[in-house]
Amino acid sequence: MKQGIIQQSLSGFYDILADGEIYRTRARGNFRAKKIKPIVGDRVEFENGYLLRVLPRKNELVRPPVANVDTAVVVTAAKKPTFSTNLLDRQLIALEAQKITPIIYFSKTDLLGDDEYSKLEKVVAGYRKIGYRVFFSREAFAPEQLKELLRGQIVTMMGQTGAGKSTLLNHLAPGLDLATGEISTALKRGRHTTRKVSLLNVAGAWIADTPGFSSYETFDMTVEELPNLFLEMKSLARECKFRGCLHLKEPQCAVKDAVKNGIIMESRYDNYVQFHNLIANQKPDYGKNRK
């Protein structure tokens, strides 16, 4: 019995990458009975042309349907569209919730004037201080460093339309020669009329066939879980007077003190408060966990 990763799913067939080769398989009938649907990125066991078992997933995305994503490159335009810390933080906490490692890539930094660039550098310094890896498109070495970080990993790229995902992919793999907005076309080349999902090998990384996912549009976490998705708050929480401190109105809160003292970025805290209020005011979805 072999183990591998589902590289492509098409019309009931599963192409599995194992030992550097692709094996085409079909799933055993008992998958449907057990309500298990194998998806791209699944680590599986197979033998004699049949997929036998799906191993436990560490995460699962809906759009695109991909499992076991290791890293997400958050492509963030420094200008056109206007940079928003709110949108960036929404994406970062969505990734933290899924246990996906984020890499922030600021595109279009060449459009910034000197003053704008200086302001961005301060923002970047703040995110790097938290522990995030951040790259600039202006840095000539950035694509090469990214290649090394992404090599051998299952990757999704996310960001607003026009943020520069195609441009970044061209830097990573110049042979793709993408025009702006052509990521989806390139990553689905040769697609059939039946929906195909696949991982494309780009500079040694396996990149999901659509340019990201939209779970950052909703907040599925509780108000108690939210502080742990802000890494700098999570590390300071043990210093708060009250266990389970939500860092809002509680006295002797280490997080609020850190904001006042410039240790935590004010924009991060403001976004945290906004997200907390959004979650607290959400109507419960009683059908969410129904089968």
Distance (Å, whole) CA 18 – CA 16: 6
Identify residue 120 by its one-letter amino acid code.
Answer: L
> Would the pLDDT of 58 be above 90?
yes
Domain for residue 62, yes or no? Answer: no
Same domain membership, residue 243 and residue 113: no
pLDDT band at 131 (very low <50, low <70, confident <90, very high): very high
Residue 19 vs residues 2, 4, 23, 231: alpha-carbon distances, Å: 9, 8, 10, 37
Same domain membership, residue 264 and residue 182: no
Same domain membership, residue 133 and residue 259: no
Residue 252 known to bind ligand: no
Same domain membership, residue 134 and residue 33: no
Per-residue model confidence (pLDDT) at position 291: 41
Domain for residue 100, yes or no? Answer: yes
Residue 245 known to bind ligand: yes
> Would the pLDDT of 52 be above 80?
yes
Which one is predicted more confidently, 20 or 193? Answer: 20
Per-residue model confidence (pLDDT) at position 96: 93
Which one is predicted more confidently, 180 or 261? Answer: 261
Number of domains in the chain: 3
- The mean per-residue pLDDT over the stretch 19-26 comes to 92
Residue 109 known to bind ligand: yes
Per-residue model confidence (pLDDT) at position 190: 39
Per-residue model confidence (pLDDT) at position 183: 47
Residue 291 known to bind ligand: no
Residue 167 known to bind ligand: yes
> Would the pLDDT of 215 be above 80?
no
Same domain membership, residue 211 and residue 114: yes
- The mean per-residue pLDDT over the stretch 73-94 comes to 90
Distance (Å, whole) CA 206 – CA 153: 6
Which one is predicted more confidently, 221 or 34? Answer: 221
* CATH code for position 259: 1.10.40.50
Same domain membership, residue 206 and residue 235: no
- The mean per-residue pLDDT over the stretch 189-210 comes to 66
pTM: 0.83
Distance (Å, whole) CA 183 – CA 207: 11
Domain for residue 116, yes or no? Answer: yes
Least confident of 65-79, 225-239, 251-265: 65-79
What whole-number percentage of the chain has pLDDT above 90? Answer: 53
Same domain membership, residue 185 and residue 90: yes
Residue 107 known to bind ligand: yes
Domain for residue 60, yes or no? Answer: no
> Would the pLDDT of 56 be above 80?
yes
Same domain membership, residue 261 and residue 200: no
Final residue in a domain of this structure, among 171, 195, 215: 215
Same domain membership, residue 206 and residue 80: yes
Q: Token pair 């007077």 is at which residue?
A: 241
Residue 253 known to bind ligand: yes
Query: Domain range spanning residue 96?
Result: 71-215
* CATH code for position 159: 3.40.50.300
pLDDT in tens, 101-128: 999 999 888 888 999 999 999 999 999 9
Distance (Å, whole) CA 10 – CA 223: 39
Residue 181 known to bind ligand: no
Domain for residue 189, yes or no? Answer: yes
* CATH code for position 38: 2.40.50.140
Residue 110 known to bind ligand: yes
Residue 162 known to bind ligand: yes
pLDDT in tens, 147-196: 889 999 999 888 777 777 777 887 787 766 554 454 455 544 433 333 56
Residue 160 known to bind ligand: yes
Same domain membership, residue 264 and residue 234: yes
Residue 166 known to bind ligand: yes
Final residue in a domain of this structure, among 215, 235, 256: 215
CB-based burial, 52-70: b 16+ in 10 Å, e otherwise: bbbeeeebebeebbbbbbb
Same domain membership, residue 187 and residue 90: yes
What whole-number percentage of the chain has pLDDT above 70? Answer: 84
Domain for residue 24, yes or no? Answer: yes
Per-residue model confidence (pLDDT) at position 124: 94
End-to-end CA distance of the chain: 32
Domain for residue 48, yes or no? Answer: yes
Helix axes 114-130, 266-280, angle to 10 degrees: 60
Final residue in a domain of this structure, among 181, 197, 215: 215
Residue 276 known to bind ligand: no
> Average model confidence (pLDDT) for the chain?
84
Domain for residue 61, yes or no? Answer: no
Distance (Å, whole) CA 40 – CA 64: 9
Same domain membership, residue 207 and residue 75: yes
